[in-house]
């Protein structure tokens, strides 16, 4: 189990599941219709019109923020303090700095505002809301946005490491900006979410309706590569969706190829989906620094993993729907490790492994 900054895709399923016919949220309504505890101000004091869709797609034009979290001995700010930039927050205030809808700019600010919006609109704690809306329905039993979650099962936590190989003080950091960077999860649970999104796109999900899933997997700007909380790539001729992410001490990605005619699956008696594993990649993780691959288990990556150890969980087919899914979680490894593995998985999309 490890912290993952690929939280956005999981978070998106929350407001989208509440944005249907019976939901309380509308994608194209001004966010100030829902916010009650904070208001977005531009640098000059004027208030722009921003929608939920723009927050989800990183097109709302909010100021750049990367939330690095807080150490074991540091005070933790409330989310409103983070949004306002008040102590003890370690990031600047969230402001509008670009015309909403004019361009894509990835920023944690968008999902910090989204988190506050969901709390204000429902009156519920964010971690409890996400458990009810997404994690429990998708059977992501080993996942939580609760920042106390790793303390409840420390023996299963993959301890964070910096790029140089030194461990993160205290093992991990607390992320109050949970919507964009605070999910604790395992590769298996992230796969479950990818599968649910893929099912929703074909109208077979109980969590998301097909129309909303289509919005999620459609670029929100002309010639863009980002939907609602998902990175989208059609360059290989097969659509890929998912998300990459990096927190202090952790890097990961989760991607799915819904139209790839590749299948390989082992299903245990409890119905858990566990890949029997793709062939080990010989290239793609960098020639100078070869990585030793480790199998992915339900519990995630062992806390004894060394810096840069990368796990790949690869070829999966579920419910007769051909799907290639890849998850990589690494401790301390750089982005070149993650994208190298993505390129390798892209090359596997047309491979038909012999089924057991």
Domain interval for residue 243: 1-356
- φ and ψ at 198, to 5 degrees? -65, -40
Quick check: 260 and 238 in contact, CB under 8 A? yes
Mean pLDDT of 43-50: 78
pLDDT value for 259: 74
Crossing angle of the two packed helices 187-201 and 7-17, in degrees rounded to 10: 40
Q: 285, 340 in Cβ contact below 8 A?
A: yes
Mean pLDDT on 14-22: 62
Give the mean model confidence (pLDDT) for residues 251-273. Answer: 51
User: For position 13, what pLDDT does the model report?
Assistant: 79
Contact 268, 260 (CB under 8 A): no
The CATH number that applies at residue 263 is 3.40.710.10
Highest mean pLDDT among 9-18, 172-181, 240-249: 172-181
- 9: pLDDT confidence band, cut at 50, 70 and 90? low
Q: Of 71, 75, 73, 115, which Cα lies nearest the Cα of 94?
A: 115
Distances (CA, A) of 46 to 37, 39, 43, 101: 18, 11, 7, 17
What phi and psi values does residue 23 have, to the nearest 5 degrees? -85, 170
Name the more confident of 244 and 7.
Answer: 244
Which stretches of the chain are DSSP H helices? 7-17, 52-56, 79-84, 108-122, 126-130, 149-152, 178-181, 187-201, 210-216, 335-347
Q: Which two tokens stand for residue 80?
A: 């409103």
Cα 269 to Cα 198: distance, rounded to the nearest angstrom: 24
Can you tell me the mean pLDDT for 253-261? 73
pLDDT at position 311 is: 33
Separation of alpha carbons 76 and 69, rounded Å: 9
How does the average pLDDT of the chain come out, rounded?
A: 74
- Note the pLDDT tens digit of each residue in 201-212: 999 998 888 998
pLDDT at 171 over 80: yes
Instruction: Note the pLDDT of residue 253.
Output: 77
CA–CA separation, 153 vs 307, rounded Å?
A: 21
Of 34-38, 278-282, 335-339, the poorest mean pLDDT is in 278-282
The CA distance from 256 to 116, in Å, is 29
Q: What is the pLDDT of residue 243?
A: 83
Q: What is the predicted pLDDT for the residue at 65?
A: 93
- The pLDDT, as a whole number, for residue 28 is 94
- Annotate 138-169 with b (16+ C-beta within 10 A) or e (fewer): bbbebbbbbbebbeeeeebbbbbbeeeeeebe
Please tell me whether residue 256 adopts helix, strand or coil conformation: strand
Q: Evaluate if residue 341 carries a pLDDT over 80.
A: no
Number of domains into which the chain is organized: 1
> Averaged over 76-86, what is the pLDDT?
97
The mean pLDDT value for 210-219 works out to 92
Q: Given a cut of 90, is residue 21 above it in pLDDT? A: no
pLDDT at 185 over 80: yes
pLDDT for position 260: 63
pLDDT confidence of residue 114: 95
- Rounded Cα distance between 26 and 33, Å, is 10
User: With bands split at pLDDT 50, 70 and 90, how would you rate the model's confidence at 228?
Assistant: very high
- Reported as a pLDDT band with limits 50, 70 and 90, residue 278 is very low
Check pLDDT > 60 for residue 316.
no
Q: What is the pLDDT of residue 346?
A: 55
Residue 155 confidence (pLDDT): 87
């Amino acid at each position: 189990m490890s912290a993952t900054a690929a939280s956005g895709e999981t978070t998106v399923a929350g407001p989208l599941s509440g944005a249907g016919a019976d939901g309380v949220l509308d994608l194209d309504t001004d966010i100030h219709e829902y916010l009650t505890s904070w208001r977005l101000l531009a640098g000059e004091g004027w208030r722009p019109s921003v929608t939920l869709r723009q927050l989800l797609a990183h097109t709302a034009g909010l100021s750049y923020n990367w939330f690095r979290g807080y150490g074991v001995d540091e005070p933790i700010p409330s989310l409103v303090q983070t949004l306002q930039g008040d102590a003890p927050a370690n990031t600047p205030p969230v402001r509008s700095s670009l015309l909403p809808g004019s361009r894509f700019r990835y920023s944690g600010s968008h999902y910090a505002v989204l988190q506050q919006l969901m709390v204000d609109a429902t009156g519920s704690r964010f971690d409890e809301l996400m458990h009810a809306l997404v994690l429990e329905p998708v059977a992501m039993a080993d996942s939580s946005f609760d920042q106390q979650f790793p303390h409840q099962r420390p023996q299963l936590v993959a301890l964070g490491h910096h790029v140089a190989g030194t461990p993160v003080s205290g093992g991990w950091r607390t992320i109050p900006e949970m919507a964009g960077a605070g999910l604790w999860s395992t590769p298996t649970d992230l796969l479950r979410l990818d599968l649910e999104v893929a099912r929703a796109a074909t109208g077979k999900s109980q969590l998301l309706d097909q129309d909303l899933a289509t919005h999620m997997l459609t670029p929100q700007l002309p010639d863009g590569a980002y939907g609602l909380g998902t990175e989208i790539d059609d360059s290989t001729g097969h659509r890929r969706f998912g998300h990459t992410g990096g927190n202090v001490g952790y890097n990961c990605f989760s991607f799915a190829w819904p139209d790839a005619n590749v299948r390989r699956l082992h299903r245990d008696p409890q119905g858990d989906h566990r890949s029997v594993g793709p062939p080990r990649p010989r290239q793609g993780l960098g020639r100078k620094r070869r990585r030793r691959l480790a199998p992915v288990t339900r519990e995630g990556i062992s806390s004894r993993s060394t810096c840069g150890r990368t796990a790949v969980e690869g070829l999966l087919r579920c419910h007769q729907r051909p799907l290639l899914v890849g998850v990589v979680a690494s401790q301390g490894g750089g982005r070149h490790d993650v994208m190298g593995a993505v390129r390798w998985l892209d090359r596997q999309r047309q491979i038909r492994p012999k089924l057991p």
